[in-house]
Amino acid sequence: MPDNTTAADNPPPQNAALVLLGGGARTAYQAGVLGGVGEILQAQGWPTQRNPFPVVCGTSAGAINAAYFASRCAEWPAALHELQTLWSTLQAHEVFEVGTGQLLRGGARWLGLMAFGWLWKQNPRALLDNTPLADTLGRRVHFDAVDAAIQSGALRALSVATSSYTSGRHITFFQAHPEVQPWRRPGLWGIAQPIGVEHLLASSALPFVFPAMPLYGEVGPEYFGDGAMRQLAPLAPAIHLGAERALAIGVAEPHPEAGQMRRHLPPYPSVAEIAAHAMSSVFLDTLRADAQQAGRINRMLADLPPEVRADLPYRPLPTLTLLPSTSIDAIAARHWHSMPRGARLLLQSVGMGTGRGSALASYLLFTPDYLSALVELGRADALAQRDAITAFFNLTAPDPHCA
């Protein structure tokens, strides 16, 4: 017999969190997943006036999606639809300068300073100039609306993860209901501060690729880079902000198969291959581990008597993790030709774009055909997980050990 339970019949737990990890252009996948989630919720009769994610946490380019949604969460169906459109139509010139001459001069200067900057006492800033991204964010994200959503009760908190090059701390900036307090753990701080363009630029500043951003931390001005660096517990901000469960969307590659035995040593890895491997470690590998840890704690707490559980400093965080079913690296390899010529020439010089270098291209290929493919993949993956998503929102009987 079909289950006709709707959100109106079975209210969900308060303060469900949306946790969005980053990965440059790969983050378009999240827009597709959220579009699919929106379709599922609307089909189940979720009220349009009830934001399904009162807590929104973003890291790296995921912080851009988080801020975009938080600023429009009072009308969440339209927000999720518009987020898909934003990514499907985004072009490279809206993210970084793409003029051939400017790119090649900037790249040559960056490489020169990497090698000889000590002679002139200058530090290289970044390979690409992301000034256009600041303008794009200023036009697309309604930062003033975040505070209005908090005041109205539609939103409890928005957080943006960053990493300080100055102090070495992993710092989460958050804008939230007044009852949410800052936190300090060894190397991990939470600082209350109105979120703006500069926070998103800092959180999404891919190391070496985009420049670090100055922000005012608790002990003064510091330079901040991509929030995925040193982020060992991506679910932690959601817990600090009062979430009772979390839907986390990552952009990691599917687990690789063993493959065939190799008789000969492959060619020495290119700069692009080494950089892609480093980025994969920085951006993509922590969500699975943190979700598994949350699952272990959930199961431990469920097995304890209530009186014992009440005395422990832990509480369950049911977590649903959604990840790509298909290799994003392979999709990037098929669409590499769409990169603007100047950027393609510069990035090909370090081995990016073909073969194993396509992994690095997957982070920087801000072209509509590639991004649209990721959006469609995300939507299909979400719809394929319809049962898990409806269970997460208590639209059907949830799994208490969900992780």
First CA to last CA distance, the chain:
27
Specify whether 129 is catalytic: no
Among 60, 88, 280, 372, the active-site one is 60
How would you label 120-139 residue by residue, b for 16+ Cβ within 10 Å and e otherwise? Answer: eeeeeebbbbbebbeebbee
Query: CB count, 10 Å around CB of 339?
Result: 24
Helix axis angle, 28-43 relative to 61-70, nearest 10°? 40
Cβ atoms of residues 105 and 185 within 8 Å: no
What token pair was written down for 178? Answer: 């007044």
Q: Is 144 designated active site?
A: no
Q: Single out the catalytic residue among 159, 203, 204, 226.
A: 226
Catalytic residues: 60, 226
